[in-house]
Amino acid sequence: MRLTPDFFDGTQIEHSETQMPSLSEREQLQEFATHVTQIFSLEAEGIMSPNQAYSQIKSLITELKTRVIGN
């Protein structure tokens, strides 16, 4: 029994794993990453408390789920 996937055996790869997100989804993910990076920077500089950063990131995740997955 093989423990690692054989990437040349197409039967082991799920179709959903080969799908690229649509352009708008990728743009939304990039926007999300940018906002998270900004929040991390503000928290690291002491401008924002860890609790505020957590709350904002949690809000961004909820919004992202609604826009990308909820479509």
Q: What is the 3-state secondary structure (H, E, C) of 3-70?
A: CCCCCCCHHHCCHHHHCCCCHHHHHHHHHHHHHHHHHHHHHHCCCCCHHHHHHHHHHHHHHHHHHHHC
| Eight-state DSSP code of residue 2 | -
Give pLDDT tens digits for 13-38.
Answer: 454 455 555 668 888 889 999 999 99
Confidence band, pLDDT 50/70/90 cuts, at residue 65? confident
- pLDDT of 36: 95
Average pLDDT in the chain: 78
- pLDDT of 43: 95
- pLDDT of 2: 46
Q: Is 0.75 topped by the overall pTM?
A: no
**Residues whose CB is less than 8 angstroms from the CB of residue 42 and which lie 6 or more positions away in sequence, other chains included:** 48, 53
